[in-house]
Amino acid sequence: MIDLLGTAAGAAVVFAATNIDDIVILTIFFVAARTTGRPHTWQIVAGQYLGISALALASVVVAAGLLVVPDPWTGLLGLLPIALGVRALRGSDDDAPATVVTGTLGVAGVTIANGADNVAVYVPVFRALGAADSAVFLLVFALLIAAWCAVAAWLGGHRKVVGLVERAGHWLVPAIFVAIGVVILVSSGVLGALVDLLG
């Protein structure tokens, strides 16, 4: 028998602690959907589910000993949001909000890049859980992805947030993505690993 409520609460804490920064990214996507029409709302939700599912699945596989994640090299995924941000900066004009991501795979890619460090947290958690507890964790994760999207959609529909993006989105949104990528690179330790490799 498993402690269903206790396991579900633990899953909620783990999810919230590792995905709080996703709210910012999701909000940007929902504002973009309202102001530019891209990505579509369903693509944001689908991309978020796809990205988080990929992270959770990778964690389960690593926890089972079937795959080794070369840490800190996952930090190189930080190059993705940097590239998207730079591309949006180069391709946007001074009057229109920048469109950083236009589809489901783009949303999923940014979610995976931003959550690559989540694997380091999820792996020991799934390694310690049995099959039933792991299933509860994955179910709670699925429910909380929907909650995260709902919160971000609400924030993305707030007049002040939309107004800010409409005024400064041509540089602000790409700059946020570049900053996210830099944080991923720095916090992962991959830059130090590259220096050691090249040195």
Q: What is the pLDDT of residues 22-37, one digit of tens each?
A: 888 898 899 888 888 8
Domain ranges in the chain? Answer: 4-198
Return the pLDDT at 38: 85
Measured in whole angstroms, the distance separating CA 73 from the mean position of its chain's CA atoms is 17
At position 194, the amino acid (one-letter code) is L
> Rounded to whole angstroms, what are the CA distances from 93 to 81, 136, 146, 171?
20, 47, 33, 9
Q: Give the predicted TM-score (pTM) of the model.
A: 0.79
Q: How far is CA 159 from the centre of its chain?
A: 24
What does the alpha-carbon distance between residue 145 and residue 16 come to, in Å, rounded to a whole number?
A: 10
Q: How many CA atoms lie within 13 A of 184 on its CB side?
A: 28
pLDDT tens-place values along the chain, 199 residues long: 467 888 899 999 999 988 888 888 898 899 888 888 889 999 999 999 999 999 998 888 888 876 666 666 677 778 888 888 888 777 665 555 556 788 899 999 989 888 877 887 888 888 888 888 889 999 999 999 999 999 999 988 888 877 776 777 677 778 888 888 888 788 777 777 777 777 6
Q: Which contiguous run of DSSP H or E holds residue 48?
A: helix 41-63
Residues 6+ apart with CB under 8 A from 54: 108, 112
